[in-house]
C-alpha cells in the first residue's frame, strides 16, 4: 500500500464537497455562477478529516479562535497550530491535505480553478509567468480575511453587489496570492536521472538518524546542497516516492519494530518518531500496513 493515492475531491461537484466534512455548509456558492470560484462557510464539530487532495486551489480562512491546537498537514508540512481568528491556510491544487481539530471550528473555505489562476497570470505582464502557489499553514492575513468576509456577505445578500463586485474581489484575492504566496517553478533538466548514489545514501542515512525531527523539504534538500524544488523531483526519480512519503514510510517501518519490542505505548512511539499525536501515527500506519497499530500487535 506504499504510495497509495489520496482521494481526489472536486469542489465544483456538490457530491464531492460533502466528502470533506460531517455537516453541510451553512452558506455555499453552489447555486451562484461565480466563474470557477467557490465559497463555503462551515461550522463543523471536532473532526479528523480524511487525507485527500483537491482539484482546485483552496484558502481556508479561520473565523474562530480555537481553544486547542489544530493539526494541519499539506504535503510534507505538518504542525500543530494555535488557530486564531482571521488566520489563513493556503492549499495548492492537488496537494495532499489533512487536518484534525478537537473543538467546534468555524471557517470560510474559498476555492478556485487552476485555469482562473492561469488566466490572471497571463493578463499580468509584470509578473513571472511560471509560478505556483506556496503551501502555507495558519498565517495572519487581514486582507484575505476581509475579502472572504466580503464574499460571504455578498452570498448572504443574494448577490446584491452583482457579478462585477465578485470579479473585483476575486481579482484582488488572486493578485494578493501571486504577490505573497507564490514562487517561481523550477523545472528539472531533461537529462536529470535522480540523485547521485553517494548523495542518496547520505540522505537516507540522515533520514533514519533523525526520524524524530521535523524533516521538512528544505531541511532534507540542505543535507545534499540542492534547492528544495529541484531536490524533490530528483528524490522521487531515485526512490519512486516524494520525500514526505519516503519519510513516513521509514517512520512506519521503525514503528513496526518498536511495537514488536512491546516496551513502549503507542502514544510514546508516535512522539519519538515525529508524529504529532497517536492518531496521526495510526492513520499512516493503517494506510501503509493495512491495519492499525493495535491490530498489528494482536496479529503477531
Beta strand ranges found along 146-248 (DSSP E): 182-184
Note the pLDDT of residue 38. Answer: 93
Q: Which of 4-8, 77-81, 173-177, 284-288 has the highest mean pLDDT?
A: 173-177
In the structure grid, which three cell numbers stand for residue 161, read together? 453587489
Contact (CB, 8 A) for 284 and 247 = no
In the structure grid, which three cell numbers stand for residue 71, read together? 493539526
- In angstroms, rounded to a whole number, what is the distance separating the alpha carbons of residues 220 and 207? 8
Query: In 3D, which of 171, 166, 164, 137 has the Cα closest to residue 150?
Result: 166
Rounded percentage of the chain residues whose pLDDT exceeds 70 = 90
Q: Say whether pLDDT at 5 is over 90.
A: no
pLDDT tier at 33, thresholds 50, 70, 90: confident
Q: What is the mean pLDDT of residues 61-68?
A: 91
Q: Say whether pLDDT at 196 is over 80.
A: yes
Q: Give me the helices (H) in 48-141, please.
A: 114-122
Note the pLDDT of residue 1. Answer: 36
Q: Which residue matches cell numbers 482562473?
A: 116
Which CATH architecture does the domain made up of 8-184 adopt?
Sandwich (2.60)
Which helix (H) or strand (E) covers residue 112, if one does?
strand 105-112
Domain boundaries defined on the chain: 8-184, 197-299
Q: What is the mean pLDDT of residues 108-125?
A: 83
76-107 tens-digit pLDDT = 777 778 899 999 999 999 998 989 999 999 99
188: region left, alpha or beta (phi > 0 left; psi from -120 to 50 alpha): beta
Q: Say whether pLDDT at 110 is over 90.
A: yes
Task: Please list the residues that pair with 71 across neighbouring strands.
Answer: 80, 100
Question: Does the domain formed by 197-299 have CATH 3.30.70.2860?
Answer: no
The whole-chain average pLDDT of the chain stands at 84
Note the pLDDT of residue 167. Answer: 87
- Per-residue exposure over 39-74, b if at least 16 CB sit within 10 Å of its own CB, e if not: bbbbbbeeeebebbbbbbbbbbbbbeebeebbbbbb
Q: Say whether pLDDT at 12 is over 60.
A: yes
Contact (CB, 8 A) for 220 and 203 = yes
Q: Which residue matches cell numbers 497570470?
A: 121
Rounded percentage of the chain residues whose pLDDT exceeds 90 = 33
Amino acid at each position: 500500500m506504499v504510495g497509495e493515492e489520496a482521494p481526489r475531491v472536486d469542489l465544483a461537484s456538490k457530491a464531492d464537497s460533502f466528502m470533506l466534512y460531517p455537516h453541510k455548509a451553512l452558506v455555499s456558492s453552489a447555486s451562484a455562477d461565480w466563474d470557477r470560484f467557490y465559497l463555503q462557510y462551515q461550522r463543523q464539530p471536532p473532526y479528523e478529516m480524511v487525507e485527500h487532495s483537491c482539484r482546485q486551489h483552496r484558502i481556508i480562512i479561520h473565523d474562530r479562535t480555537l481553544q486547542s491546537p489544530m493539526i494541519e498537514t499539506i504535503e510534507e508540512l505538518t504542525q500543530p497550530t494555535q488557530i486564531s481568528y482571521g488566520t489563513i491556510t493556503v492549499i495548492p491544487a492537488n496537494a495532499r491535505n489533512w487536518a484534525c481539530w478537537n473543538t467546534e471550528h468555524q471557517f470560510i473555505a474559498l476555492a478556485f480553478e487552476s485555469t482562473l489562476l492561469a488566466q490572471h497570470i497571463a493578463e499580468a505582464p509584470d509578473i513571472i509567468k511560471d509560478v505556483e502557489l506556496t503551501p502555507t499553514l495558519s498565517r495572519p492575513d487581514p486582507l484575505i480575511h476581509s475579502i472572504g468576509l466580503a464574499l460571504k456577505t455578498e452570498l448572504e445578500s443574494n448577490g446584491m453587489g452583482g457579478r462585477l463586485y465578485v470579479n473585483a474581489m476575486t481579482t484582488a484575492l488572486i493578485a494578493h496570492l501571486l504577490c505573497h504566496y507564490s514562487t517561481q517553478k523550477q523545472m528539472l533538466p531533461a537529462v536529470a536521472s535522480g540523485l547521485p548514489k553517494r548523495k542518496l545514501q547520505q540522505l537516507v542515512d540522515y533520514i533514519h538518524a533523525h526520524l524524530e525531527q521535523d524533516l521538512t523539504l528544505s531541511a532534507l534538500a540542505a543535507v545534499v546542497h540542492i534547492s528544495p524544488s529541484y531536490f524533490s523531483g530528483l528524490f522521487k526519480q531515485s526512490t519512486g516516492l516524494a520525500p514526505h512519503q519516503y519519510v513516513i514510510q521509514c517512520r512506519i517501518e521503525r514503528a513496526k519494530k518498536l511495537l514488536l519490542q512491546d516496551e513502549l505505548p503507542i502514544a510514546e512511539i508516535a512522539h519519538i518518531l515525529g508524529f504529532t499525536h497517536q492518531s496521526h501515527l495510526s492513520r499512516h500506519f493503517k494506510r501503509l500496513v493495512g491495519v492499525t497499530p493495535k491490530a498489528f500487535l494482536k496479529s503477531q
